[in-house]
Each structure stands twice: as structure tokens, then as C-alpha cells.
Structure 1
């Protein structure tokens, strides 16, 4: 069920992130190169974070919910923000091309970024230093996720592969192949054992991270799948697609449990820690605030 549509952006919402307690969300957009902080209880806009001078492609929130880090096309940079004041704390530079994605380790001490320069970089958030560069992809790195232990990361690329990395050593542990087109997104289950990827080939795939093997392919979208997020219980995933829909999947069976249709191509999605609150962004600039409830097979949420 749709609880609210949050309006304020006037161009595509490329990414969303929800605070650990599920009370606020941050959206990243092409419009005026801004981020917006939202109150999910009231649907009101709390702040606009400005400082980037090109499209903001990704955003992640620290585990304690006080700061956010954004990734942008501008000067191939990331920016660290204070969510209480909306002020910019630091700018992290080092990539040689646009930064497509960013994730923060569970400790909150480090972040990993993914770039069109085919690399990932590990950053120390306290001092803003680059700690390591991870190389191995042959094309733009489009997405990444960090395991709950904080020891490994999975990256997705335009080269149609995913890679598993050891963050302590920067070494590549495995390459996961199976998609037939570029991969836009990846999410990791709460137990750290599996990952779900989303691709322009219109599918999602479930992977075993211990073996690197493909466990299942989820078919249901009619266009590229741009984003994916996993429920905190690890049993379900929500995907966002260019076909204007969000779909809720049962990871055990591959069944579509619910579908929501928006007003534009769906570019981003996230699930709050309560397991029922979903926030998603589309190509028109709308941010949708949804709730998963009364689910039945192929029900409309």
C-alpha cells in the first residue's frame, strides 16, 4: 500500500537510503545535483543537501544514522554530510571517472566506492584518506554491497560479472558470471551467505557467495532491473525496474509476491529495518513511501 508520494525533486531519483531506525530517508537526484532528507512519519522534506555540481548517483547512511556519503559525476568525487545540520563535512577525491555507487562498512569507519574508471576504492571516513584501490573489472563498476561482517564486498559491473573481494587485502576472491547484459545492482542477505543481482537482461539472480555458483534466476520484469534490496529477515527482496514497477520476490521460491506500479521508470529502492517500509525513487523525481502488508501471490502492494 502506498502511504505517501514525496515530491520535491524535479528530475530522476537515482538512489535512496533509509536511516537505521527507519524514521528518515535520504534521496539522491539529478535535479540541481542535490540530496534531500525526508521525515517518513510526515512525508515532509527536512533539508536539501547541496554541494555537488553534477548528478548524484548514490547515497549511503552510517550505521548510527548521523552522517551520509554521496557519490557523484562531479569531479569524480564523494561527499560526507552531517544529517543533523545538512552541512558538508568532507570531499573525497581519487577516482578518475564518475562514481556510481558507495557503501559503508558495518563499523561505520570505512566506505567503499565504485566508479566508471573500472575500480573500487576503500576509504577511511574519519580522515578522508584512500586506503586501497581494487582492480579487476574490465568495465565500469556500477554497484557494490558489503557483507554484514564487513570483511568482504561484492561489486557489479558493465562487464556482466560480479566480483567478490577481501577488503582486508584488496584481493579478488571470485568472479560470478551468468548475466547476459550489464549488472546495475547487488544486495547481500543478512547472513552474508547469498547475494542478489539485478541486470539489464531483465532478470535478477541469486548467488551462493561461498561457492560463487548461481542458485536461481528470477524472471518477471519486462525491462532492465535497475535496483534491488533485501528484507532484513533475508526471505524477500524488492526490485526496481525501467518497466515502472517494483516487485517483491520470495527468495526461496522465486515467486512474485506483490507488484507496485509507479508513474515512471523505477531507479532505486530500499527497505527499512522494520521489514515493511519501502522507499523508492523514479525517473520523474517522485519518492514513494510504501508499506508491505496483507501479501498474497501476485497481490498489488
Structure 2
């Protein structure tokens, strides 16, 4: 298949990108313009083929520092351990790989799912890894022992997203059939919400569970009462990814309408639309300090957005197929991206 032709790269140090920010971009003569603002589903109608004209001319191109290969199927999800030493990746080859981030080597391959593994998430203490699969199950793995410690059943269709609450007491699992809340200690299902969702995320304070849905809404549940208290509307396609900012003030959502929306959580209003991707936005992730938002797309690219100005400040091009998942390391120095080209790329972000 055709891919976006490589563009001429501008020279810009990693330190300049984040520490110099937009001022540094202006200083080197790069024009800036204000933007108008886990298995990833295949759209029923193909998006237009990406072309060089779709790429934001104001953004600086960055190159990956490493490419991790070993999966034999689409990479669907990536997640760093809380200490940043391990990267977990899942794929359509039914496996999860654990990588030593420093050495760039696979240290373990976790097997046991009988279908594509769609999503991975570490518990806040790093002791557990949760994985969701198209085999309708969720597994909990002992990270140190590299073994399954529990299999959570109850979903009747593919599980597409998993997320731990910040205190580690709850696990949310979302998929084609419903959303479930699990008590991690007892492994018991404590709540069920109906509806098809692509992505779930807890607010940093653990009080809200957000879900991106098939019906183009972002649903917000009160974790304590187990009730829906708001539906955020405005997207025109399925909402494929949701992520809270570290302070909980913002919610970023990406969908099939090619846009990323930013929502103010106090007012529950859409305050900005980030446009520039040429195809569906599959994954969104905030940097640990909340200053940068990374977005991955079916257009094969990743974009970095400055949250203060809402500007696209960097394009990360290198994948040869759609980008399924993006995740920052805990120190914010590295971004991991997983793609349908079966690879994982690591990008320096400072």
C-alpha cells in the first residue's frame, strides 16, 4: 500500500523541543499557526489515503531512537511500568511482550490468551499487568513472576480497553458488549455499565470513569454511585480513545471524525478542537506534566500538541501503517508508539 512520502526534516534538538517550546520554534524560523482547536476498529468506510499535503507545515519532524520488533501481528497497545523500566506491548499475535526499556530487549513473552490481545495496563504499584483480549477475557499477570494470577470472565464479546484506578483498587474493562468494574483484591465484578466502548480511563482522583463509545458520545460515570452523570457530545464518529490530564482538569478524546477534542471537566464543555490528522485518531496520551498531548492516527503518524497554545509542535513519522497506541514514559522523556506494521517505536521527547 502507498505511504506518505518522507518530508525533509528540520534540525531541532530534543532539549529544544520541550524546554524551548514554541519560542524555540520561532527562533529557528519555523512558522507556527494556531490549530482550530487498544485493538483499533477498522472504519466501515475507508478514510482517504494520507498524503504530504495533509501534514501540518508548522510542525517539526522527529525521528525514533529505537524500533522494537518481535511481534508477528498488529501491535495494539503499549504501556510503561510506573518505574519506567519495562514496556508492555500487546498484539494480534495473541501475546504480550515485556521489554527492558534500557536494553531494548524482550525480557518475557506472556502467552495464554486465545485471541488478539487488545489492551495492556500496569497497576499503579507495578506489580500487576492487566490485559484485555478478543477472547472475551481479562487476565491479571504477576509482573515479577511473569505468570497469570487471575482470569476475569463475564464479557460476552471482545474486550478493547483496560484501566486501573490510581489507587489500584479498581480495574475498568470496556468492550463491544459493556463496561465492567472489578475489585482488584477480590477479583470480583462490582458494577456493569451497558454500551459498546472503545476506550476507558479513570480520572486521577478516581471519582470519574470516562468511556469513548460507539455512538459518538463520551460517557462519564460516577465511580462511587455507579451512575452516568454526563454525556459529552460533539464528535461525529465513534470515540476511539480517552485520556485525562494529570491534574484531572482536561479530558482529551480522539475519534473517527479525524479530530481531537479537549473538554473542561469543571464545565463539561468542549474548549478546543485539535485538527491536522488525515485519518481517524486512535490514541491520545498526556505527558506526565500535562504540557504535551500525543495523538496517534490511522494516517500512520503521531502528533505532539502544546497544551498551552493548542499548537501542533511535532510530527513523528516512521510507522508504515496506522498507529494504534501511544504512551509516555513516567519521566516524560520517551514516547512509545505501537502500530499495525507490527513494530513499536521509541521517540525522545526531550
Q: TM-score range by the shorter chain?
A: over 0.9
Cα deviation code 1:40-91 (max 9, x no counterpart): 10100000000000011111101111210000110x1100001112111100
The equivalent of 2:322 in structure 1 is: 265
Q: Residue 263 of structure 1: CA displacement?
A: 2.2
* SS of equivalent to 1:190: coil
Q: Residue 169 of structure 1: CA displacement?
A: 1.1
Measured in 1, the distance between the counterparts of 2:320 and 2:161 equals: 25
8 Å CA contact retained: 1:102, 1:144: yes
The equivalent of 1:116 in structure 2 is: 176
- How many positions carry a matched residue from both structures? 287
The equivalent of 2:57 in structure 1 is: none
Cα deviation code 1:140-186 (max 9, x no counterpart): 21101101111111110110000111111111111000111111100
Match of 1:200 among 239, 250, 256: 256
Cα deviation code 1:119-139 (max 9, x no counterpart): 21110112211001123x4xx
Measured in 2, the distance between the counterparts of 1:42 and 1:36 equals: 14
8 Å CA contact retained: 1:99, 1:114: yes
The equivalent of 1:88 in structure 2 is: 148
Measured in 2, the distance between the counterparts of 1:252 and 1:100 equals: 31
* SS of equivalent to 1:120: strand
Q: Residue 251 of structure 1: CA displacement?
A: 1.9
Match of 1:125 among 178, 184, 199: 184
* SS of equivalent to 2:296: strand
Match of 2:228 among 163, 172, 185: 172
Measured in 2, the distance between the counterparts of 1:192 and 1:81 equals: 28
8 Å CA contact retained: 1:40, 1:289: no
Measured in 2, the distance between the counterparts of 1:29 and 1:151 equals: 31
RMSD of Structure 2 on Structure 1 (CA) = 1.0
Measured in 2, the distance between the counterparts of 1:177 and 1:217 equals: 13
Measured in 1, the distance between the counterparts of 2:323 and 2:133 equals: 19
Measured in 2, the distance between the counterparts of 1:204 and 1:143 equals: 14
The equivalent of 2:299 in structure 1 is: 243
The equivalent of 2:276 in structure 1 is: 220
Measured in 2, the distance between the counterparts of 1:158 and 1:249 equals: 25
Measured in 2, the distance between the counterparts of 1:188 and 1:30 equals: 27
TM normalised by structure 1 equals 0.93
Identify which range, 40-49 or 255-264, moves more after superposition: 255-264
Q: Following superposition of structure 1 onto structure 2, how do residues 15-94 of structure 1 map, counting pairs within 5 Å? A: 15-31=77-93, 33-74=94-135, 76-94=136-154
8 Å CA contact retained: 1:114, 1:144: yes
Q: Residue 107 of structure 1: CA displacement?
A: 1.2
Match of 1:159 among 202, 215, 222: 215
TM normalised by structure 2 equals 0.80
Greater strand fraction, Structure 1 or Structure 2: 1
8 Å CA contact retained: 1:10, 1:284: no
Measured in 2, the distance between the counterparts of 1:115 and 1:103 equals: 12
Q: Residue 38 of structure 1: CA displacement?
A: 0.4
8 Å CA contact retained: 1:14, 1:57: yes
Q: Residue 253 of structure 1: CA displacement?
A: 2.1
* SS of equivalent to 1:285: coil
Listed as ranges, the gaps of 5+ residues in structure 1 are 294-301
The equivalent of 2:243 in structure 1 is: 187
Identify the structure with bigger relative contact order (alpha carbons < 8 Å, sequence gap 6+): 2
Measured in 1, the distance between the counterparts of 2:125 and 2:275 equals: 36
